[in-house]
Structure 1
């Protein structure tokens, strides 16, 4: 028998209800951590399926139609019943437990997440942790992950994204390399340096280096280099630590080496840019106690110990 409501349609219904409640696609998008265009597409899919207009749209506002108001009322009842059914199964789990599968990028996983994990595992001894530390793209359903932590702004309407923090960037090299090649004082000086590039698995292209100009303007700098590392940011860090050149990475990833004197930050006058990190999970998936515990732990811990 064919399912009456598939997972994608259920997510569209949730977005429709939130847009109706808040009277805004933009506000609903902010709530779910997606783009307003994604909410608009979800509503359009429902309208095509139902053959009615759920919202009256203008350039400045959206308003629920009579048909939309009726559908909203019935959907609220249905979603409430689904939530009650899920609570009947998982809500009685007062102590978070079970296997929690997490995917996280190499740099963030190694230098930011792993140092926090002992505190989490001590607080939740009945949760079993399985970490996949890799920069590759994952498929939540096929690979069975509960959540992921990724850099950048997520534009997948199937995922809920909670921003964890902004991680600041710096350019680093070893004292030995700088003694041999000199210390760059301007972005133009990078042209004569060995700059190690990280090739993102998301785009297949080297990531731009992010700087601020003399007046505080943002500069996305395309570094030219003969040295590239594919899909593994930690490989770039290892290359830099070996004296191979300069690399732009997160301050939290270089902090230990800088403190020991193994790395030196350069181009301070152009520093100050950052990249956002978010925690992601499928939008149509009910948050179990173990997932909610982990999300709450990270958000509270990182608010106390933000990335510098």
Structure 2
């Protein structure tokens, strides 16, 4: 069998990835203990082998070309898998370490994930955690994220989706608003109320409210003079200050409900939920820091422990 890869080529891939990550041949050479000329020659051989330019060079800097970026992402993933495979086969008992990059929506971030991170780092102090708190969908490969929490699992065969919980939805309003406008008794009553809207930032589409009537799951489009985009917590803040009725996750407003700052309305029409999932790339040998965090988070879901005693387990 003809070998496609030899030790020299694997070493060249490591130097190429290092140059891409350091954004320079000199910095890569210093770390690798070779000369900048050796790094340059190595990259040149790769470019000749592939027939493409991997770096765009100027007198001041180098940067990856479009082809180079795609090649880097695949090479880095492959090299990481080789390292993990060697560790697993050799039975090395290493301490989880390195940078863990997580993307999480604002609601789940503030009320579920972020409060758990001090406990996680107390157990695994060699893992550094970088959290991107936003409702923007991310590209795992292009942006270098290890994990993401999202509502609904995408139809992407390259990702693993682990179910975290079904987050219950409730309709809430401030006592002051209900004193001024009365409390709705039926879903039709919402037509005469100020219903705070939430719009998807990607499309501008208004999110329908999820309700249950006569045993059937329904979606309702409401109307009102307030609209929020990107951050669901803005709608909760508006509702708390008497702007109108808003549909929110129970885990977000449970403290407001307990203290009387908000009141749950239309309870007979509730009970709907949205699923939250933990997503990560499907790799045969996932980095140990990723496996460690997945096990930690799924363990918290299984044992029902969690934020303010509410847990990660399903409430719906």
Contact 1:137 1:201 in 2 (8 A): no
Scaled by the length of structure 2, what TM-score is found? 0.67
1:192-207 equivalent positions in 2, closer than 5 A: 192-207=192-207
Q: Distance in 2 between matches of 1:238 and 1:285?
A: 44
Q: Deviations over 1:188-216 (max 9, x none)?
A: 111111111111235431111111112x1
Q: Deviations over 1:32-56 (max 9, x none)?
A: xxxxxxxxxxxxxxxxxxxxxxxxx
Q: Distance in 2 between matches of 1:266 and 1:115?
A: 29
Contact 1:149 1:278 in 2 (8 A): yes
Contact 2:160 2:282 in 1 (8 A): yes
Contact 2:81 2:284 in 1 (8 A): no
Aligned residues: 228
Contact 2:196 2:246 in 1 (8 A): yes
Do structure 1's residue 88 and structure 2's residue 93 form an aligned pair? no
Do structure 1's residue 260 and structure 2's residue 259 form an aligned pair? yes
Aligned to 1:104: 104
Aligned to 1:117: 117
What is the SS of the residue equivalent to 1:169?
strand
Aligned to 1:151: 151
Aligned to 1:243: 242
Q: Deviations over 1:4-60 (max 9, x none)?
A: 9xxxxxxxxxxxxxxxxxxxxxxxxxxxxxxxxxxxxxxxxxxxxxxxxxxxxxxxx
Contact 2:210 2:218 in 1 (8 A): yes
Q: Distance in 2 between matches of 1:208 and 1:243?
A: 21
What is the SS of the residue equivalent to 2:156?
coil
Q: Distance in 1 between matches of 2:170 and 2:295?
A: 29
Aligned to 2:140: 140
Do structure 1's residue 129 and structure 2's residue 129 form an aligned pair? yes
Unaligned runs of 5+ in 2: 6-79, 305-310
What is the SS of the residue equivalent to 2:261?
coil
Q: Deviations over 1:217-264 (max 9, x none)?
A: 101111222321111111111211222111101100001111111111
Q: Distance in 1 between matches of 2:190 and 2:93?
A: 56
Aligned to 1:272: 271
Aligned to 2:208: 208
Give how far 1:142 is off: 2.0
Aligned to 1:281: 280
Q: Deviations over 1:81-107 (max 9, x none)?
A: x96753215773632111111000011
Question: Is the deviation greater in 87-96 or in 108-117?
Answer: 87-96
Aligned to 1:16: none
Do structure 1's residue 228 and structure 2's residue 227 form an aligned pair? yes
Scaled by the length of structure 1, what TM-score is found? 0.69
Q: Deviations over 1:261-290 (max 9, x none)?
A: 111111100111110000111224742111
What is the SS of the residue equivalent to 2:275?
strand
Q: Distance in 2 between matches of 1:276 and 1:154?
A: 12
Q: Distance in 2 between matches of 1:151 and 1:288?
A: 24
What is the SS of the residue equivalent to 2:142?
helix
Aligned CA distance change for structure 1 residues 201 and 285 (closer, same or farther; 3 Å): farther
> Over the residues paired in the alignment, what is the CA RMSD in angstroms?
2.2
Q: Deviations over 1:115-169 (max 9, x none)?
A: 2222212221111111111111111122211110001232223322111111111
Unaligned runs of 5+ in 1: 5-81
Aligned to 2:175: 175
Q: Distance in 1 between matches of 2:254 and 2:300?
A: 19
Structure with higher Rg: it is 2
Contact 1:93 1:289 in 2 (8 A): no
What is the SS of the residue equivalent to 2:150?
strand
Q: Distance in 2 between matches of 1:203 and 1:150?
A: 17
